[in-house]
Every structure is written in C-alpha cells, then in structure tokens.
Structure 1
Amino acid sequence: MRLINTSTLEFVWFPKVAPPYAILSHTWGPDEVTFADFTNLSTRATKSGFAKIKRTCEQALKDGFSYAWIDTCCINKESSSELSEAINSMFRWYRDAAICYAYLEDASEKIKLPIASSSSISHCRWFTRGWTLQELLAPKEIIFFGAKWTTMGRKTELKEILEQITGIPCAILTGDMRLDQTSIANRMNWAAKRETTREEDIAYCLMGIFDVNMPMIYGEGRNAFTRLQEEILKQTQDDSLFAWRASEESASETPYRGLFASSPKEFASEVTTTPFFTSRAGASTLLGNGRISLSCALYQDGFIGLKCFQGTELSTVVGIQAINTGSNHYIRSNPSQLVLKSHQYPVAFHTVVFDKFVEMKEPRSLSDIYQHNEFTLALPPEISLVAVYPKEYTGFQEKMRLPITHLVGKKVAFHMEVDREASGADVFQEIGWNDKGTAVLLVLWAEHLSTRSFTYYFDLLAVNAGDAESEFIDVERPAEALWEKETAIAWSTICATGTHTIVSGHQIFSLQLSVSANADVKNSAIDVQKEMEKAEKEREETERERERERERERDAKNAREFKKGVAQIVVILVTPILGIAFSIALVTVLSKYA
C-alpha cells in the first residue's frame, strides 16, 4: 500500500502491514493531482487539487497520524495490475483507516453549525457519486468537512441526517449492523441514485459492499454490472437480487428481459426487501450459455414467486411475471412490475432456467426440436390444473405447452378440477366430487407415423379425488383417434376439441376444453343416481338374505348342540345303574353254584 508521509509529502511504500493512516473521501474535480504529477514537485503545485492533499495531510498530522492515503495520487493508474488491485482493495483500505475525512467542497461555509437538518447538506455532490457510497459505509468513523475545511460533525453524530439523505439505516452507518445482514436489493437501492463517470465503475464501486472481487475490464460497459451480479449469485442465495423493476420507458422499449438488472437504478424502492431461506428449495446457480437455474414457486398465471418479502408484509411473497419459451426456459415479461402474491405453506419449489441478461422486443422461441412440434392446452376459467403425470412434466405451466416429441410413445395425464358452481353441477356430490369440484383426468398421447406425422389420442375420465395417478396407469389407448369427445359428470358436460395445424413445417396440436350444463346431462346424472340407489338397495337386500341364512345356520347348529348335550347326560345317569344291576346278577349266580 502506498501512503503519503504527512510531514514530508513524499510517498512511502508498505508491502505488508501499513501503519495507522488517515484516508480522504471526496469528489473528483477537473484538475486533480495524479500519481505522475505528485512525484514532480513543480507540477503538482500548479494543480488545484493539490490544495486538498495538503489540507488532508495537515489535518492528519494535527490528529496525530504520520501517513495519509488519497485515491487521486496514491494509485498508479497507468499500471492496469495496480489499478485492479487497488479497486479490489478499496473497501478494505477505507475500513482499516484510523480516520476518514469526508471533504464536501460544495458545502457552503455559511451552513449553520451544528447541522440540524438534512436539507443543509443533502445537495452536496458527495451524496450522488458511486464511489463515495463505500467510503461512507466502510470507515469506522468519518469527520465531515465543508468547503473551507470547517468541521461539520462526525458520522456517529450525523447518523440520523445521513439516514434521511441516503436511506441507509443508522445501525448500518454506526456498524451496529453488518452489511450482510441486509438484503442484496436494499444495498443496491442505496446506489440507485448515484452516478459514476465511467459506466463500468457503477459495478466496480459496489464490489466491497457485496464482498466480491472481480477483474477490471474498462471498455466492457454495463456488462460489468452483469458480472457483479454473477459474483454475488455465487456467494448467496438471496433472491432479492432478482427483485428489481425496469422503468416504464425501458419496459416499453424492451418488454422482455432476463433475470439480471441492467443497473442499480432498477432497484430503486421506497420499501425494504427481505429474503427468506428454506430447505425445501434448491440452490439457484449460474449455468453456461448465459443462463441461470432458479429455484422458485411457479403459478399458473405466469407468476414466479421469489424467496423474499417486501416491507413488513410477511404474508405475501415478491415475484415477477415470466413466460415459458419452451423446454422449461423462461424470460421475464412486464419487467417494470414486481408482483405480490399471498404466501402459501407448504410451497412446492421448482427449478426453471432463465436467461441471465437479455433485452428483447419480442420473445424468441428456442430453435430446437421441442419448439418445432408442440402441444398446447387451453383451459376455461371453470377448470384449474391440479397436477400433471408423469411427474417429469411438473414444469408444464402457464402457457400449457408440451413438446410433441415428449408425447411420442408416452401417455401424459392432466389432473384437473372443475368448479362445481361455475359449471352448474350443484348436487350429486357422491358422483366424483370432492370439496373443490370434480376430479377430471385428461389423458393425451401421440403415435409417431413418420418424421413429421403424428396421430394424437386423448380421453377424459372422471376420477375420485386422489385416484388420478392410479387411473392414469390403467388407461388404455382407444382404437381410433378422438378428435372430439364429451364426458358427462354430474350436471356438467366437459367437451374436448382438438385441432391440428402445420405452420412452416412445424406441427401444432391444440386441445380446447369447455364446460357446460344442460338438461340432458342433468337427466343423465339423475339416471346414474337412480342406478346407484337401485344398486345400493340390491346390495342391502343381498346382505339381508345372507344374514337370514346365517341365522338359520346358527339355529341348526344350536339344535345339534342341544341333542348332543342330552345324550351325554343320559350316559352319565345310566352308567351307575347298569353297574349296580350287573353286580346283583353276579352275586346271584355265584350264590347258586356255591
């Protein structure tokens, strides 16, 4: 680290541990002293920026510090390696300084001291620059000076006023709360209204605030901010990184975006964002080809639920609107809006793939086999999708699209529920109804005839709640293609109509479902009800006859048991009598021949 000797105004290099030093935070002007200027005594004296250096060293010497560091002259910016090292080390250098002097050159000397309101200094350029954000956050203590080096106060003394100006909580400013204890979105929000001279610096100046490092590539433009978000994503599972909003103007020009923001400006917000973490969700990671694997909650209305709350409302999650362009690949739509959704527990998390950073006027389709042939499902409001079988199709979402390639040789089932009230079926709850509505299973499959030719089959089944998977397994393929089929459930008719078109050599198959209620279906349901009642009566009569037969069998058994008991008693009584008679007869015989 290169420091200035505050007594001699000469550079001193410290390769390892630097001694206590003062550090300057300021905004650059047009005539600053560079590293090359500082070593030339005659040149540096002619620069208007040299006055800042002298006053900084004088103040440091007065406060008992022999060394000072100033960014304009202590970095040899002609050396790309030294510049990169310095920028990556900048936050640490400000954090480790014994004292930081914040020089607000446009703070008028007429400011009434002590400062009592934010309006007195909020106009100062120091609060609008990107680099001074980390220079406010990193040091343990800062002394603020006005235009004539008048002391205006310390950071700890001005914390409430600084919070009003910057939006940074007092606990962060005083060090009572660590930076990593607040969300990515909140920290980005602090930089939303700040500017840098070079486009890349709006990313580089935030590296220390997010505790990341990356090489400097001046000339890369806003790709630097994309790289910053990549480095942040590698170190955290904070979904607030994706909770940004584009401006209305930007969204009108490019209504389809990726998962990353284009600048800190898109994180501007009046409320805080708080992430939550759960073992139920997987990790969101960077993939190749400019994509991100995101673990999120999916909803049928195109809503992607992020793992974060907004403000103090913990009953709703923050989310974004997105569309599936195929193969579980998403891009963000309506990027100027963040959507709040009621938080549900437990939440089923799914892994989807997003573009990292794109700006498009029209969503592009993936140029692969899965987009060449596809199946779409259209559901009316009365029908909601509950589940898809097999489980590999759980990513099938709001656009209701599946690649036909997946259907070949397989059966796909859509487990749905029909709204009982909307469809007019308000009785006969025992016919396939659960608490929410009728459980319906739509089964679809395709038979591959040639390279670009398929025959499609589908069937509708009414199933009991919870039986969808077993019913799906038992389904048999019908003998011929069913291009239109109706199934009657209670008072409702569900009609499935299929269409098949070829566009630019691509096969598109669609299935539309509709729900209606009519008298024929009602009568059919009544007949079914009567048949069920008749079957129930027959079952009851059969059971009664079986019970009567069991009673007859019990009576016969009891009679047999009675007869057996009587016989046993007779034997018991007769046996002693026979013994006595035999004894008398024997005595008589013996007496006769004696």
Structure 2
Amino acid sequence: MWLINVKTLELKEFPGDQIPSYAILSHTWGPDNEELTFRNVKDGNVNKDCVGWSKLHGCCQQAESDGIEYAWIDTCCIDKTNHVELSEAINSMFRWYERAFVCYVYLADVPGGDSPQEPGSKFRESRWFGRGWTLQELLAPSDLRFYNSDWHMLGSKKGLRDIIQEITGIPDELLQGITELHGASVAQRMSWAARRETKKKEDLAYCLLGIFGVTMPMLYGEGGDQAFFRLQRHIMMEKTRDDSILAWGLSAQEAPTSDSGQVTSGRILAAGPEEFANSGHIVSYELSAPSKHSLEFSGGYLRIHLPLHIVSAGNAIGLLNCGPQHADQQVDQQVDQQVVGIPLAETTPGSGLYVRPQERPVVLRPKTASGALSMLINIKNDSQAKPPADANRQVWLYNNGKFSLVNLSLIDVVPQSCWDKEGTQITPAVESDGAMHRTLARFRHSDELTCDFVIVLEFEQRGTRTMARSWVTICSRKTPLEELAGKLHHMAHKVSGKASASNGPLNLRVTLEHGAHQPTFRVRLEAMPHPPDVTIDATAELQKWDLELELAQTLCEGSAKIRRLITRQAEVQKRWNDLWHTDGDGTGVQTPLQWAAESGYADMVKVLLDGGADAAAADKNGWTPLIAASSRGHVDVVQLLLSTSGVDIDSKDSDGRTALGWAAGEGHGAVLQLLLEKGAAMCTFRQTLQGHAEPICDLAFSPDSKTLVSASEDKTVRLWDTATGAPGQILRQHDDAVVGVAFSPDGKTLASASRDGTARLWDTATGALRQTLREHKNYVHGVAFSPDGKTLASAGMDRTIRLWDTASGAPRQILWQHDGPVMSVAFSPDGKTLASASCDETARLWDTATGALRQTLREHKNDVLGVAFSPDGKTLASAGMDRTARLWDITSGALRQTFQHEKQVSAVAFSLNGRILVSGSGDATIRLWDVNSGAPLQELQRRGVLFNAVAFLKTRRQRMAINAVAFSPDGKTIASGSEAKTIRLWDVV
C-alpha cells in the first residue's frame, strides 16, 4: 500500500503487515487533467494550480494537524497504469477505508457558509452523494468528517446522520455504527446504490465489492450488465443464502397481475442496482432451521429450493424467504407475514426448468400461501432479454456468423425502417387484420460473379394470430431491391412457395422456424448438395415484364417504325464492326476507342461510344479502353466510359492489374477516387486461415512475402504459406499470450513478444528457439528489427524500450522517457530513427545511435497502440485508442492527416509505394486511406464484402474487433487478424 508523507509529500510503499496509522480522503473526481496522478507525486511533478493540489494539500495539512503522519488519496496512491495493482486496489478499497484512522470527505461543490441543516443546502445536493464509489467510502470508516471547498469542517457522519439518512436511505443505526453492515439484506444494500452513477458502467458493480465482502477480477469492457451479473453470482457463491438478492423489480405501488398468456423469457438476476430502487425495506427472514439448500448458479441457470404457489398450468409464484421489514416485526404472527413472490413460468411441463417472465410483476404474498409446495427448480437467467414485444410485432432474429457458413452476408432490407443492423434483427410492421405485409432481405455471396439471393418474408394478421411465410429468389447485383419490392406483385404467383434457389456456386434452402417464445422467429439458410428443379430469377422476371410493356407500346406506334429502327441499328453495327476488324486484327494494334481513350481525346471517345463502339473490347494484352484511360489519368474519359453499359470496372489485363490498380500505381488520385465511387474493388477477399484457439494479436510478413507469421493469446506463434494458406510451424514455448511478432530483414530469424515478460528469437527454418530476452519487468508488447538485422527493439509494460544485440542476445540500451506502458516500436527504413507508441498518449521518435529523444508527438487523446513508417521514411503512422489513425511528418513532427474509426484503431501499415495506409479497428473494419489526400478509399468487412468510399461510413458493424493488419512487402496482399481467432488474406489489385 502506497502512502503519502504529509510533511514531505513523498510516496512510500508499506507491506500489508506494517501499515502505519493513516488518514484517507474521499472526494469526487474532476477532469483528468485537473487531478494529480501517482506518477506526478512519485516524480515530484506537482501542479499547484489544479484542483488535485487543493485536495492533496488540504488533506495532508488536516492530517498533520490531527497528528497523523501519513495519508492515502486514490488519485495519487494507485498506479493505474499497472493493471494488477489497480485490480488489487479496487478489491481492497473497502478494507483500506475501514482501517483508516479518519476519513476526510472533501466536497468541492459545497461553498463556505453553506449549512447542511438548511433545506436545499449545497451539502444536500452535493455530487458526492450521487457517485457509486463514495457509497463504500461513506459506510466503511468509523470516523468520517465532511469538509467544504475551503477545508472547513461541516460535521461528522454520526453528527449529520439524520440528514445523510434522508439523502441516501441508509438506516440511522448503521450510520451510527450500532448495527453491522452485513446485518442489512442484499436488497437493502443494493437499494442504497440504486440512484448512484459511475464514469464506467462496470464500476457500478465493482464499487459494491467491499460492501458485500466479495472479490472478483476487473474486466473493463464486459459491460455494466455482465459485471453486475458476475457480482451477484459471487455474492451467491461466497455468502450465506439471502433470497432478497432476487427481490428486484418491485414497484412503488403494487402492479396489477397480468393475465396475458404471452411469456417472454426474462432475467432472474438484476441488470443493475437501479432495479432495487424500491427494495430498501425488504429484509431477509431468518430460517426456522439451517437451510441445506444454498443458491447455486451454473450453466446460465439458478438452482434454488423454493416454495411454489401454483397459479395455473405451467405458471407459479416463487415465494422468497424475505419481505417488508414492518411485517418481520410482527412477533409470533408468522401467519400474517408477507414475502416477496416472483413470477415463474415452466418452459416445458414437468421439466423443472423455469423462466421469470418479463410481462409479470413481482408481488407480495402471505408466507403461508395456500397450496405452496417447496420444490428444487432451475431458473434461467436470460441476460440478453429485451422488453416484451407488442402483441402484433414479429421479430426476425438472425446471426451473421451462421450466414457466413454458406458464404452469404445480409446487405440490404426493404423497408429499411424494419432493419436494426446493430441489434441483428428485422422487425416487420404487421398491418391491420387481413392485410398482407412483405419484407425483403438481400444476401450476397462471396463470389463476386454471382447473383444475389432475396428472401421474401410474408406476414398476415388473422385475428390474434400472425401467419408468417418465406420464399426465395435470385436477382442481379445491379437490380435495386426497392424496385424489386415495388414490382413484386407481378411475379408473386411464380415465386410464392419456392423454398430453394441456386445462383451457381450455392444451392440454398430457406426454412422459417418460430422461436421457443413468440413473437420471435429465425430464417435458417443451408446449402443443398444439388440445385432445385426451378430457380426464379427476379431480375429476368422484371425484364420480361418491362419487355412486355415495351412491346405493347411499340406495337401501338406501328410496325413500320419498328422495321426502320431494326434496319438502321444493324447497318451501324456492321460498319463499326468492319472498322474495328480493319485496325484490331489481333496483332496488338489498338482499336480506335482504345487509342482515343489512352490519348485523352474525350470528344472522340464520345463520338465512338455514341456510334456503338464496344467499350469492353480488349487487346491481346487485356487492355480495355478503361484501363488505357486510367493508366494515363484521363478523368473525363474514364467518366464517359463508366457511364457506358457493358464496361467491367474490375476487368484485369494479362498482368492481373485493373484500372484501379493502374490509377493507384501511377498516382492518378482523381481517377482513383472516381473508380472507387463507382464501385471498383481495390482489394478482394482471398481466404481465411484458421488454427489459433484464441484471438490474434499481431501479424508480420517475411521479406519475400511468402510467409505470414501470427501471434495469438493462445500462447503460440504460427507460420503460414501466403500462397496456399497452408499452416507451417507452430512455436509454443511462451508461457502467456504472444502479442507481437517481427521478421528479421533476411527472413532467417523471427522475434516474438509476450505477456510472460520475455521477447524471444527463433530460427525461421527450423522453429528452434535461439534466444530468450528477459530484462523487461512486465509484459512485452511489441518487437521490431533494425534494417540491418543487428538490433532488436522491444516495447514493454514497464514503460521502457530496450535495444538488444540479435547475435548475442545482450541488452544494448534502455530508453526510459515514456510515462506509460510502451505498446509498439518500429525502425525507420534507414535505421536511424526508432518510433514508439505508448499509453501515455504519445508517439515518440528516438535517435537509434545515441538513444536521444528527437520528437514527442502529442495529438492523440488516449493510449497510442501502434506505429509504422512509410517506405520512404518521411511519414509516421500511429494508431490510437481515441479512434483515430494519424500521419506525422518525421522531420518537423507536424500532424499531417487524421483518419477516423468508430472504435479504437489497433494497428496501421503502409502499402509498398507508401500511397495507401491500412488501419484495423475495434469497430471490426479494415479501412484503406489515400495518404496524400486523406480520402477514404475502401472498407473491408469480415466476410470479404467490399464497400466503396462513399458508403463505408454507413455500413453495418461486425462483431469481432480487428487487432492486427499487415501489408506484404511486395504490395500484393493485406493480412488481418481479429478477436474471431482467424486471419484473413486479401488480394490487392
């Protein structure tokens, strides 16, 4: 435990059995830049102009006047960059406040002259009474004193207990110390936190650990609900049975009992203390005999021995051994004692498996309710339960992961208003009785040359029942779904009832399945071994309908006009065909259109196109007019060609390059942007590599681009053949997650970084371990080789960068100046500069020869997670927790570009020519950016679907975060690694 000497303001650490008497401060946190940190105090770097100084100075001055030598302040005495220390502190916090000689409560929002006794006083409205962490700070100390913003004492906890009880609802006798905290029921203690808030949602559970005397690890990011579920399970496991933990959801006034037959599975555990807001009077009753039946939680079910009052078949009220406090005071009148009754519904008759329905209220019932039978039952905790649906609402719940099993992804729904993308559900609006409603869902196959599948969901309300049907068709990727929905009635008689269809690569069967509980249903998609007898092509059906209309209209205009048009068209077509054959005889001579396109003669191109020239014609090298114009940067010509039907924007020449590839390679930014806006694919999905058992942390290509290496939380390093995707060697000697990897410049040595505190060097050919580098005092996060391969840099949780001799493994140098864990390192191409990324919100540039700090790059607003140099060494890219990737000028340190994601950016990498930056993010996307203009180029989603620059900010987020990205040295491949435990390879055009 770290304590502050109140005279010298120096920090000193004390073992657990040698802690001296100390004063402790309770306060509410201000802005981070206004609070003093552990590092500030440790280094003597104290800003006396901030609010944190007022707290430190006032607390120490007061402690000194009280004859106390040491003080403890949470902002200054916990090293929050050390996650182990932080977790230990949170689990020990209640005990530390309890053991303090005195606790000073500093109320910065209560001015001098304010009187707590006055109604409407600032004391009564203080923010301190509404914060989660201050609840235990109020309850734990025996001697607690309140001070205003001038450090004048307002009174003690015992002296102000009536006012505090009025504000908090905590009983007077507990504030006086007459009764013990553990004497209050779980429901009562939860109710005291019901109207409190914390900055992080998980903290609303963590701040209650000491109040219930339990410990559990901190898992920030799990969400407030999950943290609170874990807290309740720990209370059940570690404490004697107290049924009041289930007495949540009480109304201020008793709610009417629902007669609805509808059952929507709910939670047996509360999602937060706010659900105990009306349970402050619920106490746990003493058992007449010691209970042999504890509360056990396993596999998502609560196992409990409970009296059941049967209401109807399959429906019961579970009578808890707790109830209103006033009832418990009726001595020897157990007959009249009321208990809390929770609604229960049996999932299957006789199964003993129950759910707590959302629609039904908690009630109070006599403890000796007629017909109550004590039974051992299992109650499901449906932690994902949502509020009950309307009677007329149908919800299609879907799982993107299951769609991917058949290489499909849901890309569009009509009407759009029915689609909750993030919630992965579709909620069709069912109209009045007898009305038919259709919802269309469009699915796209990973094979880019295939048609889309369209599933049509039909709903019809018949009395109290909603009838649901589904059928499937295919359509061209170019057919707008809204157009199809508007004209669906023309083909409904053909498609209705068709449960299967084929688009070539996939033979798809569609099955509609109702969920266990109305009103949910699922549409099951599965591959069939053989195509169906009939597949309806919706695009073809629409074209037939349009042609029928056109034919009818043309017939009305007269047959003579038809003959003239047909004759004229044939003449023009023959003349142009003859002209092309004259010049384009297969010897490589350009067609007139290709020559005009490459030369940039837009007017001539327009004349040729209007005359019927084949815009898709290619010479023997595969060059089309579009490729020719794109390679020369002729924007107006490219625009003309793209507005012409029949042009394949992604056609490739004999070298495999597309128009987009030529524009990007030649640096024609305007053409590049135009092609992207028209849907050109910069990258195409190649394959998925599977084998790791835990999330991927880092990736690196060998210098020859033939091998990919991956690091994973499963403690292994794996090598893969990038051409075939075949797995190679598995390196297993790390004792904890492997979070960083790098190849030496000659490709013969592999370096790895691990949370076991080591960096290791391996022989790439044999997989043999060459060196283990052990000087770091904590996790090692990243590694990088110098361009000459003689030096390895490693980034450590201990805030250091260490340089090692790769031949001997000997440490060469330590770079110390970061104020937080160092997450990543990278050498410049010339080897003269080392870049580092740190949780101190900076990226830094170092002189590799001297170790001197050259630049500190400070624009990030949170942890910096990764760095990468451009191939020319003039630009540095950084990835940050602040949801940005940033580009910096190496010479001046100036910020050049900022690229935005929806969640933290985990990794960045440059293309071979340095013109494209790729970034991977916690928002589960991989994004490509134009380095010079800052324009977004492409977004890659997890199943290989590509989105253009205009649309990508609106695309649906996937579930699994991207942790790593890498560009192959030959510039032809992008690799990505994710929380999904998989690696994906993408071909770059």
User: TM-score under structure 1 normalisation?
Assistant: 0.58
Please show how residues 255-404 of structure 1 align to structure 2 within 5 Å.
255-269=264-278, 271-276=280-285, 277-279=287-289, 282-301=292-311, 302-314=316-328, 315-326=337-348, 327-334=351-358, 337-344=361-368, 348-360=373-385
* Matches of 2:158 and 2:133, distance apart in 1: 20
Pick the structure with more helix per residue: 1
Please show how residues 184-583 of structure 1 align to structure 2 within 5 Å.
184-222=186-224, 223-234=226-237, 235-245=239-249, 255-269=264-278, 271-276=280-285, 277-279=287-289, 282-301=292-311, 302-314=316-328, 315-326=337-348, 327-334=351-358, 337-344=361-368, 348-360=373-385
How far off its partner does 1:255 sit?
5.0
SS at match of 2:212: coil
Contact 1:142–1:154 at 8 Å: present in 2 too?
yes
Aligned to 1:11: 11
Aligned to 2:727: none
Contact 2:319–2:367 at 8 Å: present in 1 too?
no
Q: How far does the alpha carbon of each residue in 1:205-254 deviate from its partner, in whole angstroms, 9 at most, with x for none? A: 10110000111111111211111101111112100000001889xx9999
Contact 1:21–1:69 at 8 Å: present in 2 too?
yes
Contact 1:316–1:341 at 8 Å: present in 2 too?
yes
SS at match of 1:3: strand
How far off its partner does 1:44 sit?
3.5
Q: Percent of pairs identical after alignment?
A: 42
* Matches of 1:110 and 1:303, distance apart in 2: 54
Aligned to 1:567: none
Contact 2:309–2:369 at 8 Å: present in 1 too?
no
Give the counterpart letter for 1:62 in structure 2.
S
* Matches of 1:14 and 1:335, distance apart in 2: 54
Contact 1:281–1:296 at 8 Å: present in 2 too?
no
SS at match of 2:210: coil
How far off its partner does 1:43 sit?
4.7
SS at match of 1:45: coil
Aligned to 2:72: 69
Aligned to 1:156: 158
* Matches of 1:108 and 1:142, distance apart in 2: 19
* Matches of 2:250 and 2:338, distance apart in 1: 21
Q: How far does the alpha carbon of each residue in 1:465-517 deviate from its partner, in whole angstroms, 9 at most, with x for none? A: xxxxxxxxxxxxxxxxxxxxxxxxxxxxxxxxxxxxxxx99xxxxxxxxxxxx
How far off its partner does 1:280 sit?
8.2
* Matches of 2:142 and 2:56, distance apart in 1: 22
How far off its partner does 1:188 sit?
0.2
- The structure-2 alpha-carbon separation of the partners of 1:108 and 1:357, relative to structure 1 and needing over 3 Å to count, comes to farther
How far off its partner does 1:355 sit?
1.6
How far off its partner does 1:110 sit?
2.9
Give the counterpart letter for 2:293 in structure 1.
A
SS at match of 1:350: strand
Pick the structure with more strand per residue: 2
* Matches of 2:265 and 2:369, distance apart in 1: 30
- The structure-2 alpha-carbon separation of the partners of 1:255 and 1:189, relative to structure 1 and needing over 3 Å to count, comes to farther
Give the counterpart letter for 2:241 in structure 1.
Q
How far off its partner does 1:334 sit?
3.7
- The structure-2 alpha-carbon separation of the partners of 1:313 and 1:285, relative to structure 1 and needing over 3 Å to count, comes to closer
SS at match of 1:208: helix
How far off its partner does 1:119 sit?
4.6
* Matches of 1:26 and 1:289, distance apart in 2: 40
Please show how residues 18-29 of structure 1 align to structure 2 within 5 Å.
18-29=19-30
Aligned to 1:136: 138
Moved more, 296-305 or 330-339: 330-339
How far off its partner does 1:311 sit?
3.3
Contact 1:254–1:360 at 8 Å: present in 2 too?
no
Q: Which runs of 5+ in 1 are unaligned?
A: 365-503, 506-594
Q: Which runs of 5+ in 2 are unaligned?
A: 329-336, 390-394, 396-512, 515-989
Contact 1:331–1:355 at 8 Å: present in 2 too?
yes
* Structure 1 outlier segments of 4+, above 6 Å: 251-254
Contact 1:130–1:195 at 8 Å: present in 2 too?
yes
Aligned to 1:436: none
- The structure-2 alpha-carbon separation of the partners of 1:299 and 1:246, relative to structure 1 and needing over 3 Å to count, comes to closer
How far off its partner does 1:149 sit?
1.2
Contact 1:38–1:44 at 8 Å: present in 2 too?
no
1:35 lines up with 2:59 in the alignment: no
How far off its partner does 1:360 sit?
3.0
Question: Aligned pairs, how many?
Answer: 364
- The structure-2 alpha-carbon separation of the partners of 1:69 and 1:305, relative to structure 1 and needing over 3 Å to count, comes to same
* Matches of 1:216 and 1:270, distance apart in 2: 27
Contact 2:282–2:325 at 8 Å: present in 1 too?
yes
How far off its partner does 1:282 sit?
4.5
Give the counterpart letter for 2:220 in structure 1.
Y
SS at match of 1:322: strand
* Matches of 1:134 and 1:94, distance apart in 2: 8
* Matches of 2:104 and 2:210, distance apart in 1: 19
**CA RMSD, Structure 1 to Structure 2 (Å):** 2.9
Contact 1:2–1:75 at 8 Å: present in 2 too?
yes
Contact 1:24–1:102 at 8 Å: present in 2 too?
yes
Contact 2:304–2:378 at 8 Å: present in 1 too?
yes
- The structure-2 alpha-carbon separation of the partners of 1:209 and 1:118, relative to structure 1 and needing over 3 Å to count, comes to farther
* Matches of 2:376 and 2:120, distance apart in 1: 46
SS at match of 2:29: coil
Moved more, 18-27 or 330-339: 330-339
* Matches of 2:369 and 2:107, distance apart in 1: 51
SS at match of 1:72: helix
How far off its partner does 1:290 sit?
1.4
SS at match of 1:203: helix
Please show how residues 51-70 of structure 1 align to structure 2 within 5 Å.
51-70=54-73
Q: How far does the alpha carbon of each residue in 1:126-172 deviate from its partner, in whole angstroms, 9 at most, with x for none? A: 00000000000000011100111121011111111111111101111
* Matches of 2:290 and 2:11, distance apart in 1: 56
Contact 2:191–2:280 at 8 Å: present in 1 too?
no
SS at match of 1:220: coil
Contact 1:84–1:216 at 8 Å: present in 2 too?
yes
Give the counterpart letter for 2:13 in structure 1.
W
Contact 1:24–1:69 at 8 Å: present in 2 too?
yes
User: TM-score under structure 2 normalisation?
Assistant: 0.35
SS at match of 1:73: helix
* Matches of 1:6 and 1:262, distance apart in 2: 42
* Matches of 1:285 and 1:271, distance apart in 2: 21
How far off its partner does 1:118 sit?
7.2
Give the counterpart letter for 1:322 in structure 2.
L
* Matches of 1:298 and 1:104, distance apart in 2: 49
SS at match of 2:134: helix
* Matches of 1:335 and 1:8, distance apart in 2: 61
Give the counterpart letter for 1:311 in structure 2.
Q
* Matches of 2:75 and 2:146, distance apart in 1: 19
- The structure-2 alpha-carbon separation of the partners of 1:54 and 1:356, relative to structure 1 and needing over 3 Å to count, comes to same
* Structure exhibiting the larger radius of gyration computed from Cα positions: 1
* Matches of 1:106 and 1:281, distance apart in 2: 49
SS at match of 1:232: helix
Give the counterpart letter for 1:152 in structure 2.
L
* Matches of 2:42 and 2:280, distance apart in 1: 49
SS at match of 1:7: coil
1:121 lines up with 2:123 in the alignment: yes
SS at match of 1:143: strand
Moved more, 11-20 or 61-70: 11-20
* Matches of 2:54 and 2:35, distance apart in 1: 10
How far off its partner does 1:348 sit?
3.5
